[in-house]
Chains A and B, each alone.
Chain A
Amino acid sequence: MTVSKWTAEQVARKVIDNEELFILDVRNSDAFEDWKIEGHKFEYLNIPYFELLDGVEEILPQLPNEKDILVVCAKEGSSVMVAEMLSEAGREAAYLEGGMKSWSSYLEPIKVSDLEKGGELYQFVRLGKGCLSYMVISGGEAAIVDAVRFTDVFTNFAKEKGVQIKHVFDTHLHADHISGGRHIAAETGATYYLPPKDATEVVFDYTPLTDGLIVKIGESQIDVNALYSPGHTIGSTSFVIDNQYLLTGDILFIDSIGRPDLAGLADDWVGDLRETLYSRYRELAEDLVVLPAHFMIIDELNGDGTVARNLGDLFKDNHGLNIEDEAEFRRTVTDNLPPQPNAHEQIRQVNMGKITPTQDEQTEMEIGPNRCAVR
């Protein structure tokens, strides 16, 4: 039997195309329970590789015959070993190239929609981490919102599209992942914007992203309008693009809302979060399509792999938008919160420019799910 190698891109296709896959995850149980490759129709078996050193015979009956089997580990080494052992035992198996490390890094660009006068809007879905970045393209120019740290994905995509990156925005100072925003701006000569209230400690130059700022992209003058919407952080800012799309950052997700505690100020910011979700957003058109900066569970993906839903639908279905009692809302977003993202305080320091870890250290910091939401 043969051992084949799958890339993160191939696995992403399985997720988006809603296909079946059997994942034999050979990391230790804590790591598996904390974070795994999520797919609508994926099945899992978690057996740490160190329990398989004497052979894989014991687990053979637990492996399906009719499905592809993908062996996954943290970085690749153990999954190669186990896939080879399965192969010797007569079972065909593949391993994931680069392991969970490459899964965490992979970005799938998906077109959300065409915009007025030849413009396009893309969502970059980082399936392994649940991060969503955006690129607006129009008339030879591009704007990027909430870019993750893999800057070449964005600059290469812009090259392919033949557009020049002019504006790079971060909706807030991220705590769950490392921003690529200012690096893309430095590389391309674009303007980098950050909300000033989130930037009091940053050690680099930036252009203040303030309420009401309007940037026009390309000849067709696609509007990118900033809307101050604090609560996840004190500076959190949303965008309305082309009067059709609402980029909510980490304030509002499809099936959850932003948590106010990642900068250590939950009690101070819960009122802002309430005000944004229950007043500011209520004044917006309900047919705006919400495009958040994260998803938490695979069920939030649409059939085409995008994460997007009408604001009006969210007002009806999103639990976090339907807590009438203010005291109950306060309790929901400050008590019994899920664990904070891995290394969130260090990640904030990186995004402020205060520390500059190596690529490997950055990968370690970003291990695990994003955990920016409260449900």
Chain B
Amino acid sequence: MNVSKTIDATGLSCPMPIVKVKKAMDTINSGEVLEVLATDQGTLSDIPAWAKTGGHTILEQKTIEEVLYFYIQKS
């Protein structure tokens, strides 16, 4: 997977992770992948729900040592 950009939202709580993700998404091109690191458990439901409203695809989600990783492909 080719990651175009990475956003570190660890330690941030709602709504900041999504605010940062949205801003970063606006800077990449369609088909490119944004990597997001977060620790707020709320992002587990909110990032997929947000991605759905924009038609973006979550390619992968994993958790490593309490950090949540999301790989979002822009629509």
- A residues in contact (CB < 8 Å) with B: 28-31, 48-51, 53, 73-75, 77-78, 81, 364
Contacts and interface: CB of A to CB of B under 8 A. Distances in A.
A81 B15 contact: yes
A50 B22 contact: yes
A49 B18 contact: yes
Tell me what chain A mostly uses at the interface: helix, strand, loop, or mixed.
helix
B41 interface: yes
8 contacts: A49-B14, A53-B15, A74-B42, A75-B42, A77-B13, A77-B14, A77-B15, A81-B15
Chain B, interface size category, equals 10 to 19
A147 B35 CA distance: 45
A48 B8 CA distance: 22
A50 B13 contact: no
Contact of A78 (B15, B22, B49, B53): B15
A150 to B, nearest CB: 21
B49 A29 contact: yes
A78 B14 contact: yes
B45 interface: yes
Contacts of A31: 45
Q: Which 3 A-B pairs have the closest CB atoms?
A: A78-B15, A50-B50, A28-B49
A96 to B, nearest CB: 14
A31 B53 CA distance: 16
Contact of B50 (A30, A48, A364): A48
Contact of B19 (A29, A53, A364): A53
B47 to A, nearest CB: 9
Given A74-B14, A77-B14, A81-B15, A50 B42 contact: no
A314 B49 CA distance: 43
A364 B49 CA distance: 19
Interface of B: 13-16, 18-19, 22, 41-42, 45-46, 49-50, 53
Contacts of B14: 49, 73-75, 77-78
B49 to A, nearest CB: 4
Nearest to A51: B53
A81 B53 CA distance: 20
Nearest to B18: A50
Most chain A CB within 10 A, of B15, B45, B46, is at: B15
Contacts of A78: 14-15
A72 to B, nearest CB: 13
A338 B15 CA distance: 32
B54 to A, nearest CB: 9
Nearest to A81: B15
A149 to B, nearest CB: 19
Nearest to A77: B14
A78 B53 CA distance: 18
B45 A50 contact: no
Nearest to B48: A28
B13 A75 contact: yes
B49 A30 contact: yes
Contacts of A50: 15, 18, 22, 46, 49-50, 53
B42 to A, nearest CB: 6
A77 B16 contact: yes
A363 B4 CA distance: 37
Contacts of B53: 48, 50-51
B46 A364 contact: no
B46 A28 contact: yes
B70 to A, nearest CB: 14
A48 B49 contact: yes
